[in-house]
Amino acid sequence: MNDFSAAQRSRVTMLDVAEHAKVSKASVSRFIGDDRALLSDAIALRIEQSIAELGYRPNQMARGLKRGRTRLIGMLVADIRNPYSIAVMHGVETACRQHGYSLVVCNTDRDDEQERQHLALLRSYNIEGLIVNTLGHHRDELQELQREMPLVLVDRKVEQFDSDMVGLDNPAAIAIALDHLEERGYRDVMLVTEPFDGTSSRIERVSSFKQQIAQRSTLRGAIVETGSELTANLNTFLKSPGPGQKALFCANGIAALASTHALRELGCKLFDDVGLIALDDLDWYPLVGSGITALAQPTAEIGGRAFECLLKRLRGDDGPVRTLDFAARLVVRGSTLGNLR
Amino acid sequence: MNDFSAAQRSRVTMLDVAEHAKVSKASVSRFIGDDRALLSDAIALRIEQSIAELGYRPNQMARGLKRGRTRLIGMLVADIRNPYSIAVMHGVETACRQHGYSLVVCNTDRDDEQERQHLALLRSYNIEGLIVNTLGHHRDELQELQREMPLVLVDRKVEQFDSDMVGLDNPAAIAIALDHLEERGYRDVMLVTEPFDGTSSRIERVSSFKQQIAQRSTLRGAIVETGSELTANLNTFLKSPGPGQKALFCANGIAALASTHALRELGCKLFDDVGLIALDDLDWYPLVGSGITALAQPTAEIGGRAFECLLKRLRGDDGPVRTLDFAARLVVRGSTLGNLR
DNA sequence: CTGTTAGCGCGTTCAT
DNA sequence: ATGAACGCGCTAACAG
């Protein structure tokens, strides 16, 4: 059984191990760290046994305090209930683990004040790097933070803020979507987006959409925001005469959810009455109506590369800021059958 | 060569503030902490200005090291991609924030070895309390941890491990579901569950199902696991003659996803051919076929109460372990129209 | 009210 | 190869 007196102490420290093994703290420290080679076999064995016997675990707080390295990465997430965020976070976490880092996640619930607080919080815990996926309404604090640690933006740029960034190639994604819709015979496309709040990816998608619609004489385009008016607005869109078959283009998973809800309310047959293509590929897309055609983002890779960016910087890379734009992948389902039907 | 570790070292410390304000570190510490009342206005002002001028932020690591209080709560999650986990986690995080705590989340991806490692990790960061939602295949380590800090189980019990626990009243939930199905005229019910892996809530649901089916002479029951055979098994179930209308009872959101997939593969009309009721209420349930009837779990409350349990223990409550069982709420949609159709 | 002192648990020189 | 001593940034005694 365990040594009773040691087990009863709520925390076994390095000193306890040292005394138990009749060596100095320094030797225990060397055993714990990467200097194990410098120890004699006899002492190493004694220490190993003492550690096992006492159930000692080094205190990362004290360690970090001394070395300045906490092995902690912070991540600021705007909306933890957005499946995209979760997927990216999962990618980040996997990469972190592979390199011996741990992830501290803060959810801001889209609230600016919480973003401030969490930013301060993460800093106070001596994280070594920061992954940011928020509105970024606190440029000054981000700037300050970036002087202390590497920082990478995910999905959303922050205006006038220079830093590594990994996200989606939005113009290319829009092009893929419009190509597909056009090919399938749709002529009247409405982009459904969450309300504007400064999110850069949202803005990029909308402006790319406008721009590319303008360049395609065969297509007509319009834009609508999610919200209480959505159903009414979609109704107007569907009822109005147009140049041909109508389709919805949902700018993310949340817009897709809202749009599908609205279409059902309007009594539409999914998706004979209107086509639909959505950014992000959620697990339930195949189940709705004839299935929702998606532009899948490589979320795991996005998360992984975000961490790798951090790692490179931590290892001394101070080259110019990089931007990684991933390509969306088209997953065709029944919602864009169009003239094949 | 950028040296972020050096940058971190050069961060403003309490000593810098003290010197700048020409006071002692103790006064700065008092200003930071809860003893601000003990300071003269003159000194408090000087400190405040120095802090602002230097951009000083207290180092929580050092703070935690000294006080033994890190204001950190750990959460171990089996599967971060399960919407239930996310929802509970969101509840926990909200509660944490309200009480000045931060949450460190570790995802085990259902892997035992990762559970071990994360457990050790969380401990090494001096978290003050732990919320566990995993298989709990490491009873010994949990036991050891519980000697050091309060611990609360969420959704899943761990055999022979005494601790606070908050989850769903599974027998009652099953009763609600069966009552509803029976009332709607279903007579032949198949429970769809993820494969057995020792998850207590999964076991409870299955055994309650068996037991209650046995007590209801009007109902016939069967059980099937998700997996590659699911579609074939459902097909057999649907084809076989039975005592009346057939329905599926999905034991959680993942089972619901898999089942709906399978039903579509089988060409079923959702949900005229077969009824369906599912535990958990996911945002896409209303969108599939005629809408999926759900037993919603109060996830936010579950998460909140889990944290409150911890908080009580942290404040000295050492009463007997508590078990909080929440009631599921029936949300009726089109998938259980049954004889009303 | 304020400063001085002594650690929290650990890593890292220096000696030996 | 090993140990003693110091300090990381901070809080908590104790004086004054």
Kindly report, residue by residue over A313-334, the tens digit of the pLDDT: 998 898 999 999 999 999 999 9
Q: Is the CB of B33 under 7 A from strand D?
A: yes
Determine what percent of chain A falls in helix, strand and coil, rounding each to the nearest 5: 50, 20, 35
Query: What are A121's two structure tokens?
Result: 């919080």
Q: Please give the Cα distance from B312 to B300 (Å, whole number).
A: 18
Supply B61's token pair: 């690591």
Residue % of chain B over a pLDDT of 70: 97
* Strand boundaries in B42-185, DSSP class E: 72-77, 102-107, 129-133, 151-154, 164-168
Cβ contact, residue pair A148, B4, below 8 Å: yes
Contact B103, B129 (CB under 8 A): no
How would you class A162 by CB atoms within 10 Å of its CB: exposed for 0-12, middle for 13-18, buried for 19 or more? exposed
- Sheet containing A151-154, strands listed edge to edge, beginning at the edge strand earlier in sequence: A102-107, A72-77, A129-133, A151-154, A164-168, A323-326
CB atoms within 10 A of CB A69: 14
Name residue, tokens 């599912």: B278
Instruction: Give the tens place of pLDDT for each residue, B51-92.
Output: 999 989 899 889 988 887 888 899 999 998 899 999 999 999
- Per the CB < 8 A criterion, the answer to whether B46 and B103 are in contact is no
Whole-angstrom distance, CA of residue A333 vs CA of residue B7: 51
A256: nearest CA in chain B? Answer: B284
Q: Which residues pair with B193 in a beta bridge?
A: B225
Q: Is B6 helix (H, G, I), strand (E, B) or coil?
A: helix
Residue pair B201/B170 in contact by the 8 Å Cβ criterion: yes
Which residue of chain B has the CA closest to A264?
A: B287
Find, in chain B, the residue whose alpha carbon is nearest to that of A54.
B144
How far is it, in rounded angstroms, from Cα A75 to Cα A131?
5
- The confidence score (pLDDT) of residue B5 equals 52
User: For residue A218, what is the DSSP state?
Assistant: T
**How high is the pLDDT of residue A6?**
25
Contact B167, B201 (CB under 8 A): yes
- Interface touch A257/B283, C-beta < 8 Å: yes
Tell me the whole-structure pTM to 2 decimals. Answer: 0.90
pLDDT by 10-residue block (mean), chain A, 341 residues: 30 91 93 88 92 90 86 91 94 92 88 88 89 90 89 94 96 98 98 94 97 97 97 97 96 97 96 97 97 98 97 91 98 96 76
Q: Over 50: is that where the pLDDT of B293 sits?
A: yes
Query: Token pair for residue A297?
Result: 């983002």
Q: Using alpha carbons, select from A38, A316, A58 the residue that is nearest to residue B7.
A: A316
In A175-261, at which residue ranges do the beta strands (DSSP E only) sit?
A: 186-193, 220-225, 245-250
Residues 13-32 of A with CB under 7 A from strand D: 22-27, 30
pLDDT at B147: 84
Distance A48 CA to D6 C1' (A): 26
Q: Which residues of A touch B114 (CB under 8 A)?
A: 97
**Rounded mean pLDDT of B210-232?**
97
| Class in CATH terms, B170-297+329-340 | alpha beta
Average pLDDT, chain B: 92
* pLDDT given at position B168: 98
Per-residue pLDDT tens digits for A206-258: 999 999 999 999 999 999 999 999 999 999 999 999 899 999 999 999 999 99
> What are B165-189's pLDDT values in tens digits?
999 999 999 999 999 999 999 999 9
Per-residue confidence (pLDDT) for residue B24, from 0 to 100: 93
Fold of A6-58: 434 Repressor (Amino-terminal Domain) (1.10.260)
A9 in helix, strand or coil? coil
In the predicted model, is pLDDT for residue B4 greater than 80? no
Query: A240: buried, middle or exposed (CB in 10 Å: 19+, 13-18, 0-12)?
Result: exposed
| Buried residues in A280-294 as b, exposed as e (16+ CB within 10 A) | bbbbbbbbbbbbbbb
Domain with CATH 3.40.50.2300 in chain B: 69-167+300-326, 170-297+329-340
Q: Using an 8 Å CB-CB cutoff, list chain A residues near B64.
A: 61
Q: How many CB pairs under 8 A join A and B?
A: 127
Cβ(B165)–Cβ(B323) below 8 Å: yes
Rounded CA-CA distance B217/A144 in Å is 70
Residues of chain B with CATH 1.10.260.40: 6-58
- Phi first, then psi: give them for residue A335, nearest 5 degrees: -75, -5
Mutation for testing the B interface, residue in A283, A290, A314 having most B CBs under 10 Å: A283
Give the 3-state DSSP-derived string for A134-162, with helices as H, strands as E and coil as C. Answer: CCCCCHHHHHHHHHHCCEEEECCCCCCCC
Pairing type for strands B164-168 and B151-154 reads parallel
Q: Nearest residue to nucleotide C2 when comparing alpha carbons to its C1'?
A: B27
Please give the protein residue whose CA is closest to the C1' of the nucleotide C11: A66
What are B178-217's pLDDT values in tens digits?
999 999 999 999 999 999 988 999 999 999 999 999 999 9
Reply yes or no on domain B69-167+300-326 having CATH 1.20.1730.10. no
User: What is the per-residue pLDDT for B9?
Assistant: 44
Whether residue B7 and residue A314 make contact (CB cut-off 8 A), yes or no, is no
CA distances for B151 relative to A48, A223, B284, angstroms:
29, 50, 33
Strand D lies under 7 A from the Cβ of residue A332: no
**Which residues, by CB, come closer than 7 Å to strand C?**
A 11, 13-15, 25-26, 29-30, 32-33, 58-59, 62-63, 65-67; B 22-27, 30, 38-40, 42-44, 62, 65-66
Q: From B90, which residue of chain A is nearest by alpha-carbon distance? A: A80
Sheet strand arrangement including A275-279:
A220-225, A186-193, A245-250, A275-279, A293-296, A329-331
For the CA of B126 and the C1' of D10, the distance in angstroms is 16
d(CA A227, CA A217): 30
Residue B318's pLDDT is: 86
Check if residue A43 sits with its Cβ under 7 angstroms from strand D.
yes
pLDDT higher than 80, residue B6 = no
